[in-house]
Amino acid sequence: MNSETLNTLDSYSKNKYKYGFVTEIDEEKPKKGLNEDIIKFISLKKNEPEWMLEWRLKAFSKWKKMKEPKWANLSFPEIDYQDIYYYSAPKGFEKKPKDLSEVDPKLIETYNKLGIPLEEQKVLAGVAVDVVFDSVSVATTYKGELEKLGIIFCSIGEAIQKHPDLIKKYLGSVIPAGDHSFSALNSAVFTDGSFVYIPEGVKCPMELSTYFRINAENTGQFERTLIIADKGSYVSYLEGCTAPKRDDNQLHAANVELIALEDAEIKYSTVQNWYPGDEEGKGGIYNFVTKRGLCAGKNSKISWTQVETGSAITWKYPSCILKGDNSIGEFYSVAITNNFQQADTGTKMTHIGKNTKSKIISKGISLGNSQNTYRGEVSFLRKAEKARNYTQCDSLLVGNQCGAHTVPYIDSKNNTAVIEHEASTSKINEDQLYYCRQRGLSHEEAVSLIVNGFCKQVLQELPMEFAVEAQKLVSISLEGSVG
Amino acid sequence: MFLEIKDLSVKIENKNILKSLNLDINKGEVHAIMGPNGSGKSTLANVLAGKEDYEILNGRINFKDNDLFDLNIEERAQEGMFLAFQYPVEIPGVNITPFLHSAINSKRKRMNEEEIDNLSFAKLLKSKASDLGINIDMLKRSVNTGFSGGEKKRYEILQMSILNPDLAILDETDSGLDIDALKIVTDGVNKLKTKDNSFLIITHYQKLLDYIKPDYVHVMVNGSIVKSGGSEIAAEIEKDGFQKFQ
């Protein structure tokens, strides 16, 4: 590697995180610590019915008996669950504000700074947004318009009160509380998140989006999202996230459940940009997320697309259970790690129905001292006749101190299954850099161009409105110089 | 003087490649360098473009009143130096339209010229492509990716015509081209030629020089220019080979 490349690498390590500011706002916080009282407090704050509290407490009793899953290629100090705030809300959110005039101007300012204006007329055309600040949903845009089509798009807290039948039927149906310790934890203390229901035959006319922001110190964010696409419906959903720069690590443990009934399609995209910690690995979000979709009906389809650039630790495997015959699961992922970030991410495709298909495209880019692992499991159960999987995992290394790892598991109990797996690991190519620079592009521009090209297969899966943003984010994660 | 190479000695991995090489090129001139394999022709092209694998032992290069060694690769390109590569590298996933658009704007920025917008650039690219007989569909593909040898070379010439360099270095652009592709490429070069720009054409065979008429031909052997003259030298080489110059 020549000196110029090393210089540029050095400038990467001076990563600046432009979302790292803190909003000074009065917060309502109960004491730190995890116990039945805090769960009762959350449930009370959310004005929840009795059955919901019981559901939470049951999950909590499961959690107490569980240990964290340890199989990931991650190292971090033990999480002290008693040293975390489990609820934090800006004051004045006892009731969700009816419109923006009731929202603290500081909050509106925060979102303007993040590039997520809350006023509908300023929001990206054709995108409805639910905004979650620490533990509460701040605003949901375009609600009225969606209601006309019978689409429900609201915070999960609101759904628990207004749509208890759907919640009782589906919450925890894809990710049981007792699945593992993080799902149990989330089930016990989740605070807010989004709920989406698309009625039979309805194609949702706009992108639905949730934007998560962690602001308060030492606070965990435990969001819960549930999306149900009824027969023959379609929805595309996007999630974005940021957090202030802090020296302490913060825990984020989300659960996202998707259910696609017969002929329904759900497209779920994530742009994860939690604070990754500083160049010495201090601070940053611990991102332990469980995302799972159930293709319950025939011909249903669930597609996950993720761009993971943030967090000190990412532990995340958006998965598909392909139960309905002919159902399709897809996973497109870009994971970029820099400095001391660690990512262990991938997917799980479980083929149960006949003729089920899955496709996995994973692109990992490692810089600095980071470790980037793809972990995937593709399994074919006995009845999965003629099921197919295609997996492609590519890793790109930029520098000499980072690591890229690929851990694919394949398990087939049906011998008609067809499995294809391709994997590659490469270093950033000096000839490509030379070529770009000979045309007049700077070294940084050239790296960003080449990496964006490397990720293109995934980035092009993102909804149009966000593809450009995601490209920029990829460049910023590399340069670290755009403030 | 437009380009002045004085006493240039260069080594790579302990091997001396260029030895006290001298070459002057004026505005509006076309120079051809011919020489056998391993004579150092491509090294000269890469040293001019700024590739970092080489160690400069001695000598200096002036380009448009700059000490060339003060400029890095992209600065040289922005100053108007263009290298048409012998083996253009594939860059998967990078569409050629935005790639060239960024390239031309980085040059304009350095020249304190206004950047060219998307629409005007798309028009410019289309018209240049059709001038060179390049299919518009090729502009939708990734840089050099999946191109045939001939397509790659044609695409180099397209980039050259977009970037409109002051000094274009063609490194064995004729290698691997059939006669039709060779005509398209050389036509492109001839169209670009004005009294204000210069060409340095590196080639192994005389064939290319049937289509591009050089003002000067230099014979390079073992890292030095051993003979310079007009196009009659090319004919000499065609007849007798490089043997007699060694």
| Residues B89, A440: Cα–Cα separation, whole Å | 16
Which residue from B10, B49, B11, B73 is spatially nearest to A4, judged by alpha carbons? B73
pLDDT value at residue A56: 93
DSSP type of residue A446 = H
Compare CB distances from B73 to A434, A449, A457 and report the shortest one's residue: A434
Rounded to an integer, what is the distance from CA B144 to the centroid of its chain?
17
| Residues A269, A237: Cα–Cα separation, whole Å | 6
- pLDDT, tens only, A424-441: 888 888 899 999 999 999
Interface check for A75 against chain B (CB to CB < 8 A): the answer is no
* Chain A nearest C-alpha distance from B30 (Å): 21
Per-residue pLDDT at B7 exceeds 90: yes
Residues of B in contact with A460 (CB under 8 A): none
Rounded to an integer, what is the distance from CA B239 to the centroid of its chain?
26
Per-residue pLDDT at A129 exceeds 70: no
What element of type H or E holds A117?
Answer: none
| Residues B16, B122: Cα–Cα separation, whole Å | 45
Interface of B with A in 131-170 (CB under 8 A): 142-143, 159, 163
- pLDDT, tens only, A321-371: 999 999 999 999 998 888 888 888 999 999 999 999 999 999 988 888 888
Three-state DSSP class for B203?
A: strand
* A8, A439, A444, A447: best to mutate for the B interface, most B CBs within 10 A: A439
DSSP type of residue A115 = T
Residue in B closest to A434 by C-alpha: B51
At which residue do the structure tokens 């600065």 appear? B75
Q: Kindly determine whether residue A449 and residue B103, on different chains, have CB atoms separated by under 8 Å.
A: no
- pLDDT, tens only, A17-49: 666 666 666 666 777 888 888 889 888 888 899
Residue in A closest to B53 by C-alpha: A2
Please state whether beta strands A357-366 and A328-337 pair in parallel, antiparallel, or not at all (unpaired).
Answer: parallel
User: Is there a contact between A353 and A381 (Cβ–Cβ < 8 Å)?
Assistant: no
Higher-pLDDT residue of A240, A3 = A240
The angle that helices A430-438 and A443-459 make with each other, rounded to 10 degrees, is: 110
At which residue do the structure tokens 């006290």 appear? B20
User: Is there a contact between A257 and A223 (Cβ–Cβ < 8 Å)?
Assistant: no
The angle that helices A443-459 and B96-110 make with each other, rounded to 10 degrees, is: 160
| Residues B171, B85: Cα–Cα separation, whole Å | 6
Q: Kindly determine whether residue A453 and residue B92, on different chains, have CB atoms separated by under 8 Å.
A: yes
If pLDDT is split at 50, 70 and 90, which confidence band does A245 have?
A: low
Mean local confidence (pLDDT), B197-209: 87
Per-residue pLDDT at B69 exceeds 80: yes
Interface check for A445 against chain B (CB to CB < 8 A): the answer is yes
Q: Kindly determine whether residue B102 and residue A445, on different chains, have CB atoms separated by under 8 Å.
A: yes
| Residues A122, A111: Cα–Cα separation, whole Å | 12
Based on the structure, what is the number of domains in chain A?
1
Least confident of A170-174, A212-216, A450-454, B179-183: A212-216
- pLDDT, tens only, A253-274: 889 999 999 999 999 998 877 7
pLDDT value at residue B125: 92
The contacts of residue A6 (CB under 8 Å, 6+ apart) are none
pLDDT value at residue A18: 63
| Residues B157, B184: Cα–Cα separation, whole Å | 9
Per-residue pLDDT at A6 exceeds 70: no
Instruction: Give the pTM.
Output: 0.80
| Residues A100, A105: Cα–Cα separation, whole Å | 9
Mean local confidence (pLDDT), B72-82: 95
The contacts of residue B52 (CB under 8 Å, 6+ apart) are A2, A3, A4, B73
Residues shown for chain B: 246
At which residue do the structure tokens 């569409």 appear? B95
pLDDT value at residue B204: 80
| Residues A83, A249: Cα–Cα separation, whole Å | 11
CATH code of B3-245, in short, is 3.40.50.300
Residues of A in contact with B111 (CB under 8 A): none
| Residues A155, A192: Cα–Cα separation, whole Å | 7
* Segments making up each domain of chain B, as ranges: 3-245
Phi first, then psi, for residue A204 (nearest 5°) are: -65, 125
Give the ranges where A369-480 is alpha helix by DSSP (H).
Answer: 430-438, 443-459, 464-479
Higher-pLDDT residue of A14, B35 = B35
Per-residue pLDDT at A151 exceeds 50: yes
pLDDT value at residue A239: 82
Question: Residue A307 is part of which domain span?
Answer: 3-479
The contacts of residue B61 (CB under 8 Å, 6+ apart) are B3, B4, B5, B6, B8, B47, B48, B67, B68, B69
Interface of A with B in 169-228 (CB under 8 A): none
Extract the tokens encoding A453. 């090209």
Least confident of A390-404, A468-482, B224-238: A468-482
Which residue from A351, A350, A373 is spatially nearest to A362, judged by alpha carbons? A373
- pLDDT, tens only, B18-65: 999 999 999 999 999 998 888 999 999 999 999 988 999 999 999 998
Can you say whether the dihedral through the CA atoms of A437, A443, A446, A447 is positive or negative? positive
Least confident of A229-238, A400-409, B50-59, B114-123: A400-409
If pLDDT is split at 50, 70 and 90, which confidence band does A10 have?
A: very low
- The sheet with strand B167-171 has its strands ordered as B81-84, B167-171, B198-203, B30-34, B216-221, B224-229
If pLDDT is split at 50, 70 and 90, which confidence band does B73 have?
A: very high
Please state whether beta strands A127-133 and A207-213 pair in parallel, antiparallel, or not at all (unpaired).
Answer: parallel
Compare CB distances from B91 to A3, A432, A438 and report the shortest one's residue: A432
pLDDT value at residue A144: 75
The angle that helices A464-479 and A3-13 make with each other, rounded to 10 degrees, is: 110
Please state whether beta strands A371-380 and B216-221 pair in parallel, antiparallel, or not at all (unpaired).
Answer: unpaired
Residues shown for chain A: 483
Extract the tokens encoding A291. 């995302």
* Chain A nearest C-alpha distance from B228 (Å): 28
pLDDT value at residue A210: 80
Supply the ipTM of this predicted assembly: 0.95
The overall average pLDDT reported for chain A is: 81
pLDDT value at residue A482: 25
Residues of A in contact with B163 (CB under 8 A): 439-440
Per-residue pLDDT at A286 exceeds 90: no
User: Is there a contact between A155 and A130 (Cβ–Cβ < 8 Å)?
Assistant: yes
Interface check for A5 against chain B (CB to CB < 8 A): the answer is no
If pLDDT is split at 50, 70 and 90, which confidence band does A13 have?
A: very low
Rounded to an integer, what is the distance from CA B94 to the centroid of its chain?
22
Buried b (16+ CB within 10 A) or exposed e, A358-369: bbbbbbbbbbbb
Per-residue pLDDT at A123 exceeds 60: no
Please state whether beta strands A136-140 and B216-221 pair in parallel, antiparallel, or not at all (unpaired).
Answer: unpaired
Extract the tokens encoding A12. 């990467």
* Chain B nearest C-alpha distance from A439 (Å): 6
| Residues A344, A53: Cα–Cα separation, whole Å | 33
Higher-pLDDT residue of A70, B49 = B49
What would you report as the CA-atom Rg of chain B, rounded to the nearest whole angstrom?
A: 18
Q: Which of A122-126, A297-301, B178-182 has the highest mean pLDDT?
A: A297-301
Interface check for A436 against chain B (CB to CB < 8 A): the answer is yes
Mean local confidence (pLDDT), A195-209: 90
User: Is there a contact between B94 and A450 (Cβ–Cβ < 8 Å)?
Assistant: yes
If pLDDT is split at 50, 70 and 90, which confidence band does A16 have?
A: low
Could you tell me if residue A250 is left (phi over 0), alpha (psi between -120 and 50 degrees) or otherwise beta?
beta
pLDDT value at residue A102: 62
Q: How many CB atoms lie within 10 A of CB A82?
A: 9
If pLDDT is split at 50, 70 and 90, which confidence band does A4 have?
A: very low
* Chain A nearest C-alpha distance from B75 (Å): 7
Interface check for A392 against chain B (CB to CB < 8 A): the answer is no
pLDDT value at residue A3: 41
Mean local confidence (pLDDT), A229-242: 87
pLDDT value at residue A301: 97
The overall average pLDDT reported for chain B is: 90
If pLDDT is split at 50, 70 and 90, which confidence band does A480 have?
A: very low
- pLDDT, tens only, B92-133: 889 888 899 999 999 999 999 999 998 999 999 999 998 888
Interface of A with B in 366-385 (CB under 8 A): none
pLDDT value at residue B163: 93
Extract the tokens encoding A311. 């967090």
Compare CB distances from B106 to A435, A440, A453 and report the shortest one's residue: A440
* B48, B55, B81, B89: best to mutate for the A interface, most A CBs within 10 A: B89
Per-residue pLDDT at A474 exceeds 60: yes
Interface check for B84 against chain A (CB to CB < 8 A): the answer is no
Q: What's the CA dihedral at A175, A181, A182, A183 to 10 degrees? A: 20
pLDDT value at residue A432: 92
